[in-house]
Amino acid sequence: MNNYLITIIGPTAIGKTALSIQLARYFNCEILSCDSRQFFKEMRIGTAVPNTEELAAASHHFIQNISIQEAYSVGDFEEEALVKLDTLFQKNPIQIIVGGSGLYVDAVLKGFDTFPDIEVSVRDQINAKYEKEGISYLQEQLQTLDPTYYHTLLTENPQTLQNPQRMKRFVEVCLGSGQPYSSFIGKRKNKRNFTPIIIGLEADRAVMYERINKRVDLMLEEGLLDEVKELIPYKNLNALQTVGYRELFDYFDKKTTLEFAIEEIKKNTRRFAKRQITWFKRTENAKWFPYQTNVQEIINYIKLQL
């Protein structure tokens, strides 16, 4: 394989966008965003979409390409990203993906596991129980049927335990197949026509938290309040159930003060960054650099991999 995909990973506010642009300019290639929140046209400030100058400095793809009202899954992204990469590799055998959404990065690099078809009756049964008993039913079922995966979510991605759609899927696979959901993970080997070169950016936790706090303050200066206010009619859409929007919807609903909402955004963003680090640190063959590393050092490492 003569194609190489430079993959830049790391927590939010660490400097991935700036590095990706420097590398794109050096290697004369293009950038695919793997940030699932930056896909949406209506969400610019709160998702830290690259600014006009950054977008002009290198060709970007999958940034503000769909509406919050459109259904768009990680599977859709995987399919479209691979098609785009095939086109880009015809122009240059080196391309870049960058983003903090680990699931979307994995979709491009590895694809998804294959799960068995589940009978509709099983799904209906789970939906009926959920309507009566709520999310606790799904949590208890997963803990019983697949304690390994339940513990993984509890320690690495606890928000997922509160996500009814994903929890229903885990439970229906367990009940419908008679096997733990985790037993199907990592079995499928998806072929890719590129070799990934994975670059991770990291910083001390105190530095990372300071950068996050400053970014939130900058978002507010740039007009985050106005952006969120315009989105109030759509606040129940899945795309808007995310940090930086949920907290301010509560403020506009007079459930909290603005000061409290801002502190919650900072706190929840820091928690999100910790989960990102946990996810990305499991990435095989990743080379980690301090976030202030001179770009030439990273370029030299990449050239050694080509």
Return the domain boundaries, the chain: 4-112+190-305, 120-184
pTM of the predicted model as reported, rounded to 2 decimal places: 0.80
Binding-site positions for ATP read 10-17
pLDDT tens for each residue of 93-129: 999 999 899 989 999 998 877 788 888 899 999 999 9
CATH superfamily of 4-112+190-305: P-loop containing nucleotide triphosphate hydrolases (3.40.50.300)
What rounded mean pLDDT belongs to the chain? 94
- CA-based angle 73:51:5, to the nearest 5? 55
- Of residues 72, 66, 61, 65, the one with CA closest to residue 96: 61
Q: What is the pLDDT of residue 116?
A: 83
Q: What is the pLDDT of residue 22?
A: 98
| pLDDT over threshold 70, residue 189 | no
Percent of the chain with pLDDT over 90: 82
pLDDT-based confidence at residue 145 (cuts at 50, 70, 90): very high
Mean local confidence (pLDDT), 9-27: 97
Q: What is the pLDDT of residue 238?
A: 86
CATH of domain 120-184: 1.10.20
| pLDDT over threshold 80, residue 243 | yes
- Which strands, in side-by-side order, build the sheet including 286-290? 60-61, 31-33, 94-98, 4-9, 195-202, 286-290
Phi, psi (deg, nearest 5) at residue 282: -85, -10
pLDDT-based confidence at residue 1 (cuts at 50, 70, 90): low
- Of residues 284, 299, 301, the one with CA closest to residue 9: 284
Binding-site positions for substrate read 12-17
Question: Rounded to whole angstroms, how far apart are CA atoms 110 and 104?
Answer: 10
Q: What is the CA radius of gyration of the chain?
A: 20
Binding-site positions read 10-17
The dihedral over CA atoms of 295, 297, 298, 300, expressed in degrees to the nearest 10, equals 120
Q: Sign (positive/negative) of CA torsion 123, 129, 132, 136?
A: negative
- Of residues 25, 29, 35, the one with CA closest to residue 57: 25
Q: What is the pLDDT of residue 248?
A: 98
Q: What is the pLDDT of residue 294?
A: 97
- Of residues 138, 111, 113, the one with CA closest to residue 126: 138
| pLDDT over threshold 80, residue 299 | yes
